[in-house]
Amino acid sequence: MPESLRVVIAEPDPAIQERITRALQGPGHTVVGRASHPLELIAEVERSAPDVVLARDTWPAEGDEHRGPLPCAPHVPVVVWVPEPDARPPDRDYPPEGAAAVLAGALEEDALAAALATAVARGREQHRWRRHALALTRENTLLRVLARCNQAVIRARSEQTLLQEATHLLARDAGYELVCVLGAGRAGGPVERLAAAGEEQGYLDCLTGDQGFNVRSHGPAGAALRSGQTTVLRELAQRRSPRPWRIEAVRCGFSAICALPLVAGRGGEGPVFGVLVIHSRDPSALDAAAVRVLDNLAANLSHGVWAQRLRGRQRRMRSELRKHARATENSPVSVLITDAEARIEYVNPSFTRLTGYAPEEVIGRDPRMLGSGHTPPEVYRELWETVRAGRTWQGTVQNRRKDGQLIWERQVISPLRAADGTITHFVAVREDITESKRAESAIRLRERALESTANGILISDLRLRDNPIVYVNPAFERITGYPRDEVVGRNGRFLVRDDKDQPGLEEIRSALRSRREAHAVIRNYRKDGTLFWNELFVAPVREDDGAVHYMVSVINDVTERKRYQAELEQRTHYDALTGLPNRNLLVDRLHQALLYARRSGRHVALLNVDLDRFQIINESLGHAAGDQLLRTVADRLTAALRGFDTVARMGGDEFNIVLTELRNTRDAELLAGELQEALAPSISVTGQDVFLSVSVGYTVFPDDGDGPEDLIRRASVAMHEAKRQGGGVIIRYSERSEPRQINRLTLESDLQRAIERGELRLHLQPQVDLDTGAMSGAEALLRWEHPRHGLVSPMQFIPLAEEVGLIIPMGRWVLETVATQLAHWQQQGLPVVPVALNISARQFLHAELVEDVRQILEGHGVAPSLLELELTESLMARNPEVAVQILRELKAMGLRLALDDFGTGYSSLAHLKRFPIDTLKIDQSFVRHVNEDGDDAAIINATIRMAHSLGLNVVAEGVEREDQLEHLKRQRCDYAQGYFFSRPLSLERFAARLAGDESGPDPAPAEAGAPGARTMP
């Protein structure tokens, strides 16, 4: 039975479609579809897979892009029907392009059948030839690609370049839709993409990503990786495998996949390191002929990759050899190589630097030439026995350099063996450990020093719980009485026992927590329970990386020094002759009394009692009698006073008395009269009765003054008025007693405008180095030139400025003026010296003091070391914690700090240890009578010794006579100032002094009785 042909009719006219269908109703034809438009025709051919298409010659229209062979099935022949051959258009050729046959005239069944059969036969024959030609073309193309890949193998410089070029050739020149090289990757994970070219890279991402399909176990790539054989899969869409990789490949339109293994090693005998995977939408593109060519290409590609890897290994080996050679040449340690007979064959540059020998001086010689003769022979004997037995020897020897210098070396000597195991060479690595040996010697020396020092040393481990002690030296055992075995492993707090309420202990605890240095004087207790004062220093032991694992504590038994300080404290605050409080303690008690009086509303009186004609008695009966008389007066005054009043000896025959709890000013005069009566009875001195009269001047708070210094000074003024009136009388202070006393309200008003009007003047009083006699510095002294009253005493206007709040701008003016002058003198090339200026209490506690000082110095370019700030003991004692913080900030800037009027406060010795000061200034009240008053001399002498023991400089104020200077020199006082050297100088006169010109304007005047008047109170 003849074959029934499947026909699709292409005709836009439905009537003609029906006519053609009736003509094809014979048994040899089956109409399987109809199309009215070219796109419908393409879809219908894809759906029904016909054997032939019948289309009228007028369709599709001329110029339509769908004329000719069907793009979806070029193997399907087309029969063109020409109903009226004579009416054909003159511009058309016949048969039309793409027609397998032409049917002219009416639709007769036999003619139609013959035309369709002819078209099918001709189309099938053309399809076979086309496929054959395509296969030949493809094979030729692949051979050309193979040749180009071989060229790429030859010229490639890297594995990546070779693989990338091969994939691009296969995709671009061979026409494969996707070509990639996949590596084996890590075990159990997705394959690794080594190179890729072509379309559908997203599909490739699914194969190689971390969440990719496991093609290692399934698919052609996995099969090729496992078996090492080429794997080809065709007609993927026809397969029913549910594998995700196949579904994705079909979705991308791939019909065939070829996976070719890439094998390492020569001749393809090595392991599979990857697979060349080729994807095609045309199954015939991966036929047997193509696969054979691709096998050759994969083999050549494998060889190229293997060659690249081999060359890479060779390059790495050569690089390693060069690296080792460079390492040996550049090694910081000496390297020496000998043959088996111990003849030197090679030395590196470090050997030359270490020994001083050039290579040509040692090549061929025995290494024993380097010996010093100090290394024992048995060391060398052990060395050679070890290395000749094939083992490595290491040890320490002492050799000698070419210049004769001895050096210590740590040596490691190893034998080198040939392939047969025989020793051919010896390699010696020699490290210079001379410095290490010296360091070890230094460590041993420090250990002996720690064992020998007089101070106790304690080291605690901060890494362990409770910071136990790990070391104490013999001095610790001697000081504390505790043997080493009883303290190692314990915390050091056992030395404190129950005496834990000590201010210094918190500082030490804080330092231990923050791992910083600290210093405190605390009470400790020996094993037998006796107390000793411990000046304790703690410091961290820092590692190279800055970490702190240990703290070292230095224990210094200062019990004797504390006892001496207590005695000095007693002498500082009490009069040695009478046992009464001295001026220092009087000021303190007066200050406390004023504080209480302000709260309670009571009055306080200060009496200045001076013995009349005491000098006559002293000269007539002698100094011993005078001393006895003063002691008796002290006893009578004390007996006459109430228990809460204070009597103090101010010096000579002058006594000051603080009367408190007074209800009114009249009580002060009544009590003063009682004191006169107590001294009225005769006093027996060396067998003679002496009758005394006293002159009494007194002031009452708050009427006559509101500060200790005001009350003391004005009581003295009143006492001198009593003396002027003949003595033996009681005089209360009055403003009439001071001829130059200015009305307070007027003074306050004028002071408000003094800075604006430029009425303030700054004078400088030189300070002299007592060793060289040269000027070593200066103190700034503030003056107010009042337009009507002339020079106003600082004792008047500075307390007023403090009270009304002008002291801050006034202090800033002083600081600005000093900095300006220093900068100006530096620009002139003058040899400037440091300038000291006083800081008032309000200025010191002002929040912007530190920043003001910093900005002013930086603004004028003045070094901080040229500025010294002077502060009084009483100022810092008001709030010691705040004072310490401010002083540390000023000290950190580089400023020098001085403690002014030392000995006139009430906490001087305690502050010397706590405050970071550089200089101690002895008040002029002690210097004035240094050669007449033994107490003043003793205080000055003790102060100088104590200051020097603490590393402080000492400046004596108010030196006016040569005998005062000689006493200070004998006591090795560092510096001094006073009228003996120079009055305060104007800025112009001081500049001339700096320039070496001793002539010039007269020195600036100073107020009578106040040669040391300061910038601030």
For residue 273, the model assigns a pLDDT of 85
What is the model's pTM? 0.35
Distance (Å, rounded) from C-alpha 650 to C-alpha 580?
A: 10
Per-residue pLDDT, 123: 64
- In this structure, is the dihedral angle defined by the CA atoms of residues 168, 170, 175 and 180, taken in order, positive or negative? negative
Query: 678: Cβ–Cβ under 8 A, 6 or more apart, which residues?
Result: 636, 637, 639, 640
**pLDDT for residue 751:** 83
pLDDT of amino acid 999 = 55
* Mean pLDDT of each 10-residue bin along the chain, 1017 residues long: 75 83 77 84 82 73 48 68 59 50 66 73 67 71 84 84 89 88 71 83 66 56 87 81 78 89 76 90 85 88 85 81 78 89 91 92 91 90 91 92 91 90 91 83 76 87 91 92 93 91 90 91 93 93 89 91 80 86 90 90 92 75 86 92 90 91 87 90 85 91 88 89 84 72 63 84 93 93 85 77 79 92 92 91 81 92 93 69 86 91 61 82 88 86 90 92 93 94 92 77 42 40
Q: The domain at 331-439 falls in which architecture?
A: 2-Layer Sandwich (3.30)
CB 206 within 8 A of CB 214: no
**Pair type for strands 694-701 and 975-976:** unpaired
Residue 521 CB partners (closer than 8 Å, separation 6+) = 504, 533, 534, 535, 536, 558, 562, 913
SS percent in the chain: helix, strand, coil, step 5: 45, 25, 30
Which pLDDT value is given to residue 1005?
Answer: 47
Phi–psi pair at 700, nearest 5 degrees: -125, 130
State how far the Cα of 321 lies from the Cα of 309, in Å rounded to an integer.
18
Which of 921, 856, 847, 911 lies closest to 884, judged by CA? 911
Instruction: Specify the pLDDT at position 21.
Output: 82
Q: Which CATH class is domain 453-564?
A: alpha beta
Place of tokens 């400046």: 955
**Per-residue burial over 522-540, b = 16 or more CB atoms within 10 Å of its CB, e = otherwise:** bbbbeeeeeebbbbbbbbb
Tell me the C-alpha distance between 538 and 525, whole Å. Answer: 18
pLDDT confidence of residue 793: 74
pLDDT confidence of residue 900: 85
What is each CA distance from 757 to 521, 614, 784, 785, 1006, in whole angstroms? Answer: 52, 49, 11, 10, 21
Contact present, 185 and 191 (Cβ < 8 Å): yes
The strand ranges marked E within 172-330 are 178-183, 192-198, 231-233, 256-263, 272-280
Identical topology for domains 135-314 and 453-564: yes
Cis bond upstream, residue 415 (ω within 30): no
Domain positions in the chain? 1-62+71-85, 135-314, 331-439, 453-564, 574-732, 752-995
The CATH number assigned to the domain with range 574-732 reads 3.30.70.270
Q: Is the distance from CB of 681 to CB of 591 less than 8 angstroms? A: no
- Checking 799-807 for CB contacts under 8 A at 24+ apart, the result is 799/707, 799/709, 799/710, 799/1017, 800/744, 800/747, 800/748, 800/751, 801/751, 802/840, 802/841, 802/842, 802/1017, 804/748, 804/751, 804/752, 805/842, 806/751, 806/752, 806/755, 807/840, 807/842, 807/843, 807/1016
Pick the CATH number of 752-995 from 3.40.50.2300, 3.40.50.1950, 2.60.200.20, 3.20.20.450: 3.20.20.450
- Please name the CATH architecture into which domain 135-314 falls: 2-Layer Sandwich (3.30)
Q: How far is CA 240 from the centre of its chain?
A: 68
Q: What is the per-residue pLDDT for 904?
A: 65
896 strand-pairing partners: 868
In the numeric block, the tokens 């070593």 are attached to: 776
CA–CA gap between residue 77 and residue 84 (Å, rounded): 22
Q: Determine the Cα–Cα distance for residues 915 and 899; give it in Å rounded to an integer.
A: 9
